[in-house]
Amino acid sequence: MNIITKVKKLDLPLGQYVVIGSGIMAQLGLRAANDVDIAVTPDLCTTLRASGEWEEAERYGKIFLKKEVVEINPRLDWESYSTTVEAAIASATIIDGVPFMDLNELVKFKRGLGRAKDLADIVIIEAYLAGLVDGGGGCRRECVSNRKRTNKRPR
């Protein structure tokens, strides 16, 4: 799935949304994404809800808007993680004109959610940030040389 194409088709106003969750991981080639999670400002959420094009769904005690593989999150405050959509937008990483949640912020977000899949994603993101994993999901030279060094049998 091409995240950027999916998001651009929505024609959302820049400065009022940010792609969260695994979207940036998919875009960087770290792992595939099955859906596109987008956090939006309250005004944009109201506009989308009023359009009649989005279905309301309740999960985790919150109301989301859903259309095909896209899920709109009107808020980013969870029990163990709290920021505003506006703060996430302001610190976003822009790739091909689409704002994605900053990877360091995404680690905090996923740590706050604490699900098994989020904890696994944190390991991948931290390895990427440390330069041990490239965007194709493979090891970089440093990782390979470290692996060779540690896999040698003692003589």
Q: Which two tokens stand for residue 105?
A: 């912020």
Residue 79: how many other CB atoms lie within 10 Å: 10
pLDDT, residue 137, reads 52
Percent of the chain with pLDDT over 70: 86
pLDDT, residue 138, reads 52
Q: Give residue 148's pLDDT band: very low, low, confident or very high (50, 70, 90).
A: very low
Report whether 35 contacts 71 (CB < 8 A): yes
- Residue 151 CA: distances (Å) to CA of 40, 76, 146, 148, 155: 47, 43, 9, 5, 12
- Helix (H) / strand (E) containing 106: helix 103-113
pLDDT, residue 76, reads 83
Report whether 132 contacts 142 (CB < 8 A): yes
- Average the pLDDT over 95-118 and give the result: 93
- Asked if the 3-151 domain carries CATH number 1.10.540, the reply is no
